[in-house]
Structure 1
Amino acid sequence: MPSAPAHTTPEALMDHTVLPASGVGIHHADRHPLHPLPIDPADVVAGDPRASWTVLYEDDVVERGLWQMTPGSAAGIEADEMFAVLSGRATITPAEGPSLTVGPGDVGIMRAGTRAVWTVHETLRKAYQITKSPCPA
């Protein structure tokens, strides 16, 4: 997943920073608004992919949100991430290992530092959680 540009702060993209008192927050992922996330032209492999995202929750350990990319291919260095594909279809090609095709209902796990190319065939939207640092004991 391409990372946010240096000039974009997580606070500027965050929709919800605090869970309600109940500890449960609900978002309608299929229609939740997303913010543009420019892809570095040097990372574009094919086509004219456009990315967008929103951070739904963030603290010192995790970031949770929604990410979307339109058809095309872009390379990047992955974060320590777990994601669930909500809609669309893509092929993920890690630098080391076979290509994997994902679609709605698929759950993926990416190791931090993995180099991969995302080739999106149908606009892909996923929910994700990135682990930023080891979980406290």
Structure 2
Amino acid sequence: MEPVAVYHLTDVTVGHEPSHPDEVVAGEPTTGAVTVTTLDGLGVEVGVWEMSTGAVRDVEAEEAFLVLSGRATIETDSSTTTVKQGDLVRLAAGTKTVWTVTEPIRKLYVTGM
């Protein structure tokens, strides 16, 4: 591996697929993700994830992410949080969420593999 690696996130293309019908809450959302790099020996994956407008339910992995573009609300049993470009967010593993995307969202995520 090179001592310095630069990843141009604006050049990362993310293919989308329809969300699983059991997860869809509203609309016809699509999602996609691409692994950009891994941190060898640490078990860490860094990638780009996108979702079109609509709403889906999920059970989260331990993750931190930076919203690169778009807007969404993340609803849990105890709160509703709006996220937008520039927000750094941490999700706890096992959290049940409903993502409602009002502007197609693109995030850089960091999670365990």
- Give the conservation status (yes or no) of the 8 Å contact 1:73–1:117: yes
- Give the conservation status (yes or no) of the 8 Å contact 2:60–2:93: yes
Structure 1 moving runs of 4+ over 4 Å:
none
- Give the conservation status (yes or no) of the 8 Å contact 1:67–1:127: yes
Structure 2: give runs of 5+ residues left out of the alignment.
none
Q: Deviations over 1:45-87 (max 9, x none)?
A: 0001110110012356111100000000000000000000000
Q: Which amino acid aligns with 1:64?
A: V
Which residue of 2 is the match for residue 66 of structure 1? 48
Alignment root-mean-square deviation, CA: 1.5
Structure 1: give runs of 5+ residues left out of the alignment.
1-19, 133-137
Using the alignment, how far apart are the partners of 2:19 and 2:6 within structure 1? Answer: 28
How do 1:1-137 and structure 2 match up within 5 A?
20-22=1-3, 24-58=4-38, 59=40, 61-94=43-76, 96-132=77-113
The CA deviation at 1:32 is 1.2
Q: Which amino acid aligns with 1:83?
A: F
With the length of structure 2 as denominator, give the TM-score of the two structures. Answer: 0.90
Q: What is the aligned length?
A: 111
Using the alignment, how far apart are the partners of 1:30 and 1:72 within structure 2? Answer: 23
Using the alignment, how far apart are the partners of 1:51 and 1:72 within structure 2? Answer: 10
The CA deviation at 1:37 is 4.5
The CA deviation at 1:98 is 1.1
Which piece of structure 1 moves more, 113-122 or 28-37? Answer: 28-37
The CA deviation at 1:112 is 0.6
State percent identity of aligned pairs: 39
